[in-house]
């Protein structure tokens, strides 16, 4: 059975991709920044470290790999890793995949990336997409929006705040939109793309578009929150997020994330490929969404 490699199979989206590949009987290896962490897949998944600073070692990790599923990226600059570094690490991975003879490179990107974007997340994603496109590898670039599911951070933490606090601050008008996609749908799209011989770039978005205020009110209703929902200037919302962030030891929201949201970058102009509506998933998971806080810093920096 051919070997596939998933970067970040112990993470969020990578874990769902890994589960699907294992269910298909594929052999699997993961590359991770935390090779010492408990392996939720046991012996079924071989573990190696990213080795971005040792390209020869990284190439050896990829030898014999049929399809590489890449979820590596950072949410914000922190702890000495900024977007320039994430782009350069991604380029190192692409080159190593090419040299190792990987058949197909499946890359998880973001909707509406642009090399002209003032936002380093979206600009860096576009730079990595270009590198993949010019690499000579057969590729599928998959562009999701906000991803929802059990281990999600953004939607879960809005629900967590609504459960606990008397007030919730919406940055600006709240009329900017997002089109969340279910993590299982995204994993299915990625794994199916891995089987295609041709190169392609596609959006992976869900069937519902919510404005941000509508999403917050839907979450409030789902968790039975009586928090007062207010509109405040983005800077005030960021200040509030910073204060709560200090209390929970996390970065809850960044200025660039607010700009990305308000610029309507998390919606697609194409028909949705994801099937599960967020409203249905929330109804099925009302008791667990926001029940505990999900920390980005704890996941990646501790």
Ligand X SMILES: NC(=O)c1ccc[n+]([C@@H]2O[C@H](COP(=O)([O-])OP(=O)(O)OC[C@H]3O[C@@H](n4cnc5c(N)ncnc54)[C@H](OP(=O)(O)O)[C@@H]3O)[C@@H](O)[C@H]2O)c1
Among the listed residues 11, 113, 174, 272, the single contact to ligand X using CB under 6 A:
11
**Window contacting ligand X (CB under 6 A); options: 28-36, 92-100, 205-213, 257-265:** 28-36
Among the listed residues 4, 14, 219, 273, the single contact to ligand X using CB under 6 A:
14
3 state DSSP class of 83: helix
Position of minimal CB gap to ligand X: 11
If one asks whether residue 144 binds ligand X (CB under 6 A), the answer comes out as: yes
3 state DSSP class of 31: strand
Residues 6+ apart with CB under 8 A from 57: 51
* Whether the Cβ atoms of residue 33 and residue 49 lie closer than 8 Å to each other: yes
If one asks whether residue 41 binds ligand X (CB under 6 A), the answer comes out as: no
Residues 6+ apart with CB under 8 A from 20: 187, 188, 191
Among the listed residues 4, 5, 10, 281, the single contact to ligand X using CB under 6 A:
10
Least distance between ligand X and beta carbon 73 (Å): 3
Nearest to 277 by CA among 232, 233, 222, 240: 222
Nearest to 183 by CA among 217, 202, 222, 155: 155
Least distance between ligand X and beta carbon 14 (Å): 6
If one asks whether residue 18 binds ligand X (CB under 6 A), the answer comes out as: no
If one asks whether residue 54 binds ligand X (CB under 6 A), the answer comes out as: no
Binding site for ligand X (CB under 6 A): 7-8, 10-14, 32-34, 71-74, 81, 108, 110, 144, 146-147, 299-300
């Amino acid at each position: 059975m051919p070997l596939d490699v998933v970067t970040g199979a112990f993470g969020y989206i990578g874990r769902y991709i890994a589960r699907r590949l294992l269910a298909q009987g594929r052999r699997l290896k993961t590359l991770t920044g935390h090779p010492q962490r408990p392996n939720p897949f046991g012996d079924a998944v071989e573990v190696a470290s990213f080795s971005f600073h040792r390209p020869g070692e990284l190439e050896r990790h990829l030898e014999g790999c049929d399809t590489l599923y890449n979820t590596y990226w950072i949410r914000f600059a922190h702890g000495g890793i900024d977007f320039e570094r994430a782009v350069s690490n991604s380029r190192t991975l692409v080159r190593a995949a090419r040299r190792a003879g990987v058949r197909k490179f499946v890359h998880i990107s973001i909707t509406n990336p642009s090399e002209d974007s003032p936002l380093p997340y979206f600009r860096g994603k576009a730079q990595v997409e270009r590198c993949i496109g010019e690499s000579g590898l057969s590729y599928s670039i998959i562009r999701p929006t906000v991803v929802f599911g059990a281990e999600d951070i953004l939607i879960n933490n809005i629900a967590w705040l609504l459960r606990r606090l008397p007030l919730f601050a919406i940055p600006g008008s709240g009329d900017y939109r997002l089109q969340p996609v279910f993590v299982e749908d995204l994993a299915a799209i990625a794994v199916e793309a891995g089987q295609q011989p041709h190169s392609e770039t596609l959006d992976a978005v869900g069937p519902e578009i919510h404005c941000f205020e509508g999403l917050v009110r839907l979450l409030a209703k789902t968790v039975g929150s009586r928090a007062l929902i207010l509109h405040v200037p983005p800077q005030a919302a960021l200040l509030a997020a910073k204060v709560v962030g200090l209390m929970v030891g996390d970065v809850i929201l960044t200025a660039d994330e607010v700009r990305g949201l308000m610029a309507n970058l998390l919606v697609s102009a194409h028909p949705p490929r994801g099937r599960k509506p967020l409203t249905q998933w929330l109804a099925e998971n009302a008791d667990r969404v926001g029940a505990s806080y999900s920390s980005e810093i704890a996941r990646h920096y501790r």
